[in-house]
Structure 1
Amino acid sequence: MDPMFPSLPLHAAIVDLDGTMVDTLGDFVVALNRCLDDLGLPRVGRGFVERTVGKGSEHLLRSTLAHVGADPALYEAAWARYQAHYLAVNGEQAQVFPGVMQGLAWLRARGLRLACLTNKPTAFAQPLLVRKGLAGYFEQVFGGDAFERKKPDPLPLLRTCEALRSEPSRTLMIGDSSNDAQAAHAAGCPVVLVTYGYNHGEDVRAVPALAHLDRLDQLESWLARWP
């Protein structure tokens, strides 16, 4: 047994959404640029969005306005437009990453209780999971507005563990970024990271985790080593 593996059996898993299960960059780019068009502001490119997503839609929008040189006072008007555009496009430009459904099905077959925990607003996350055929895997879905603080704060993970009735040490966090890893480490959850996500434009392999997986269905062979 790898000494990095905890000795206790897993009871549950918490799975991030954007960049971990679904490639949503296209949705973000379309919604943001429609919002910027409404305000007469310059558009942003996919590369900027990829570096900026992960800390919640509010952070993404504020960063976008700053990036294009907009008056911060435009935020409230921009937020209303962004929400409307995102809800309209939600899932249209998004694709489930290869291996995700197989990985989730295997976790469920192993008897783990699953929750989706994302910094995306709950009103965006729930219909996206439904549209992409992922909702049925999860007992709980918590967005970035579900708790007082967002990842990388550990509070959302601790509250999600409570909802799953699972101790943090027996709850695996699966994510794609340093936000997920920092939250998991602080909450006392073991964590694995996928290599294909966003992670603010940086190589996620440099972020400490039990494993860095190229596909979520690699969990089956990796977790075979778990007690």
Structure 2
Amino acid sequence: MKKPKLILIDLDGTLVDSVPDLAFSVNSMMEQIGRATYQEAQVRNWVGNGVERLVKRALLNALDGEPAENYFEKAYPLFMTSYGQHNGERSQLYPGIREGLDQLKSAGYQLGCVTNKAEQFTIPLLKALGIHDNMGIIISGDTLPKKKPDPMQLLYAAEHFGIGSDESIMVGDSIHDVTAARAAGFQAVSVPYGYNHGQDIRDAEPDAVINSLADLPELLEQALRLAT
């Protein structure tokens, strides 16, 4: 690996375990439409492709497919209202996140959060968990016309800091993060936890896999030592 100047980090499944809040809101929605609720573990398998897809999966009790349009149109606003009210109440930072962010910031790296989550949920969640101010840029799923796995968000962040793609890293939990990194010319670092629908993230062939963000500073220092 090459030591970077810019480190972009995914939100859900990488920085934050947001499933508890999402599951609460899914079940609130299901109760309001008169349907059975789910265990948190089941909702966990459906997270990772945005809240619209999450709602559709909950309505279908399946990973793929499309519910009836009128059914979705009734349910989706109920989910959005609940999630807007409870976002950040049950979510937690993964182990090592605060330590890793502090170490990376102290070491002089430019940091940013790049997520497919809508801004109306991204900013409150980052603030609720006390890591909003660690980020030099925050790019949400509706900030730009395209989002991961498209490289647009990553390239926009690099341009914002005036840093080349070859000096940038994307850290994430899913194949979308690796795909976006490759398309943008970034290095890709993955975490093995998070929301990748049960698939081993190593199969996506990132440049490195770390068990915690707290492991990233040492990985980058090793890269520097090997290069000199």
TM-score by length of 1: 0.90
- Identify which of 71, 76, 88 aligns with 1:74: 71
Residue equivalent to 1:33? 27
- The answer for the alignment partner of 1:49 in structure 2 is 43
Contact 2:96 2:213 in 1 (8 A): yes
1:97-122 CA-to-partner distances (Å, cap 9, x unmatched) read: 11101111111112111111111111
For 1:176, give the aligned amino acid.
Answer: D
Q: CA deviation at 1:70?
A: 5.0
Task: Describe the superposition over 1:76-131 as per-residue Cα deviations: whole angstroms up to 9, x where unpaired.
Answer: 33222111100111111111111101111111112111111111111111011111
Instruction: State the SS of the aligned residue for 1:52.
Output: coil
- SS of 2:209's partner is strand
Equivalent position of 1:222 in the other structure: 219
> Mean Cα displacement is larger for which, 132-141 or 152-161?
152-161
Q: How many residues align?
A: 221
2:204 matched to 1:203?
no
Q: In 2, Cα distance between the equivalents of 1:52 and 1:149?
A: 22
Q: Which runs of 5+ in 1 are unaligned?
A: none
Q: Distance in 1 between matches of 2:198 and 2:21?
A: 18
**Superposed displacement of residue 48, structure 1:** 3.2
1:213 aligns with 210
- Tell me how far 1:216 sits from its aligned partner: 0.8
2:59 corresponds to:
65
The gaps in structure 2 that reach 5 residues or longer are none
CA gap of 1:169–1:49, structure 2 versus 1, over 3 A, is farther
- In 2: Cα distance, 1:63 partner to 1:72 partner: 13
CA distance in 2, matches of 1:51, 1:208: 22
> Is the Cα contact below 8 Å between 1:57 and 1:119 reproduced in 2?
no
The aligned counterpart of 1:140 is: 137
RMSD: 1.7
What's the offset of the Cα at 1:20?
0.6
Q: 1:156 aligns with which of 153, 168, 178?
A: 153
**What displacement does 1:25 show?**
0.9
Larger deviation: 76-85 or 131-140? 76-85
Give the match for residue 165 of structure 1. Answer: 162
Give the residue type in structure 1 aligned to 2:128: R
Q: 1:174 is paired with a residue of what secondary structure?
A: strand
- Out of 81, 84, 87, which is 2:84 matched to? 87
